[in-house]
Chain A
Amino acid sequence: KAGVTQTPRYLIKTRGQQVTLSCSPISGHRSVSWYQQTPGQGLQFLFEYFSETQRNKGNFPGRFSGRQFSNSRSEMNVSTLELGDSALYLCASSLEGAVTYEQYFGPGTRLTVT
C-alpha cells in the first residue's frame, strides 16, 4: 500500500505571497490532518478534514486554510505569507479520525519564506 505523499517537497516563497500544499492520503483513509513543525514551537496541529469537511481546527490564524476533495486528497493554503510561516508542513492520514486512530505521516513539505 502506498504511503502518504506530499507535494511539493520543498518550496521557497516570498513574504506576502500565497502557497498551496498538497497531500494524498493512504488509500481508504478518510481523515487528513495537517501539522506545522518548527524548531521553536514544535509540532502544532493545524486542522483535520474528514469526508470533505473540516472537523477540527487548531489555533492558527485564518490565513491558514484547507480543503479536502471527494477522493480524500487534501490541500492546504497559506495566504499572505510571513517569515514565521517557514516550517515543515506535515500531512497525516488515518482511517477514521485523528483523535482516536493512529496517523500515518507523509514526508512533509519544507516551506521557506524569504
Chain B
Amino acid sequence: AQKVTQAQTEISVVEKEDVTLDCVYETRDTTYYLFWYKQPPSGELVFLIRRNSFDEQNEISGRYSWNFQKSTSSFNFTITASQVVDSAVYFCALSTNTGNQFYFGTGTSLTVIP
C-alpha cells in the first residue's frame, strides 16, 4: 500500500526563521515519484518539485530546499528565511507506476507571522 504522512498539521514561525516540513512515505515499489505542492489561500495548488526514487540528490531552489532520504523514507522540505508569502498549505505526494494513482499527504498549514 502507498501512503504519505505529514505529521505536522500546523506550523507557525516568525518571519525570517527557517522551517522544515516533514514528509514520510510508504511504498513497496522500487520506482516511485515524490512531489511537493503549495496551496496558498487562493486555493490553487502550485507544483514545487518532483523527485524520482533513483535520484537522491538534494535540491536547492532559492530559499527552498529538499532533503530526500530513502533510508528513512522521507522527503523533507525546508524554507530558509521564511516570508509572509510562504503562508500556505503544503502537500507532499507520492505516485508509483504500480499503484497508478497519486497519493497526497494531509498537508501542513504554514503560517509566517510578520
Q: Is the CB of B43 within 8 A of A88?
A: yes
Q: Is the CB of A43 within 8 A of B33?
A: no
Chain A CB within 8 A of B44 CB: yes
**Given A43-B91, A43-B104, also A104-B96 (CB < 8 A):** no
Q: Is the CB of A98 within 8 A of B106?
A: no
Chain A CB within 8 A of B45 CB: yes
- The proximity string for A residues 70-114 relative to B, scoring 1 for CB distances below 8 Å and 0 otherwise, is 000000000000000000101010000011111111111000000
Chain B CB within 8 A of A62 CB: no
Interface residues on B, range: 20 to 34
- The proximity string for A residues 27-55 relative to B, scoring 1 for CB distances below 8 Å and 0 otherwise, is 00000010100000011110010000001
Chain A CB within 8 A of B100 CB: yes
Interface residues on A, range: 20 to 34
Q: Is the CB of B44 within 8 A of A107?
A: yes
Chain A CB within 8 A of B87 CB: no
Complex Cα spacing A56 to B97, Å: 11
**A58 / chain B contacts, CB cutoff of 8 Å:** 101
Q: How far is the CB of A2 from chain B (nearest CB, A)?
A: 14
Q: Is the CB of B100 within 8 A of A92?
A: no
**A102 / chain B contacts, CB cutoff of 8 Å:** 35, 47, 50
Q: Is the CB of B107 within 8 A of A42?
A: yes
Residue of A98, A100, A105 near B44 (CB, 8 A) is A105
Chain A CB within 8 A of B103 CB: yes
Q: Is the CB of A99 within 8 A of B104?
A: no
14 extra A-B contacts, CB within 8 A, seeds A48-B102, A99-B102, A103-B47: A33-B102, A35-B102, A43-B91, A43-B107, A45-B104, A48-B100, A55-B100, A98-B102, A99-B99, A99-B100, A100-B95, A100-B97, A102-B50, A108-B43
